[in-house]
Chains A and B, each alone.
Chain A
Amino acid sequence: EAQVTQNPRYLITVTGKKLTVTCSQNMNHEYMSWYRQDPGLGLRQIYYSMNVEVTDKGDVPEGYKVSRKEKRNFPLILESPSPNQTSLYFCASSRGDTSNQPQHFGDGTRLSIL
């Protein structure tokens, strides 16, 4: 089954404790991205990657890091999480350029930073 898998689905942690949210897709998609979703603000892009070893900032990259060492994986790293990063996070992938291809989303990771 074609899917985007995120882990963990839920996490409660404390300020400053480094965490990683993993994202894996099994569709051999070139393009992957991370979003956060907050009430009233909709989905906002954090980082995206157009292929292996190619990453770039989205609209709200501050406080986040990503890496793309393999085509299927695109982890999101919070080096020193803060309460304002409490949010619902989604990973998405698509074949090629997102201007023409629909995105496939994971089921989300709900992060609470205390």
Chain B
Amino acid sequence: EPEVTQTPSHQVTQMGQEVILRCVPISNHLYFYWYRQILGQKVEFLVSFYNNEISEKSEIFDDQFSVERPDGSNFTLKIRSTKLEDSAMYFCASRPTGGFGYTFGSGTRLTIV
């Protein structure tokens, strides 16, 4: 079964530092997403990406965040000047054109200290 792969699985970062979360979506999927889940809360949408550009972003996704697809396989989320409240699980997801067969990765647990 094809998977969405996320690295690292855990990341501890000093407040104020930059962090890059990495994802390898399923190879024939064209839509890519980042979601966030603060401990004990629901999954929240951050950003969607299609055709090498952001197609939609939430109010959470401010100038502190950016996404990139640096090559044909990776999809990254960069968080600059991290804050304590950025601590959460970050999930990458992808889906093909048509239908809503989103596949989520196992997540990166980000802890800001």
The answer on A and B forming one complex is: no
Chain A residues in the interface with B (C-beta under 8 A): none
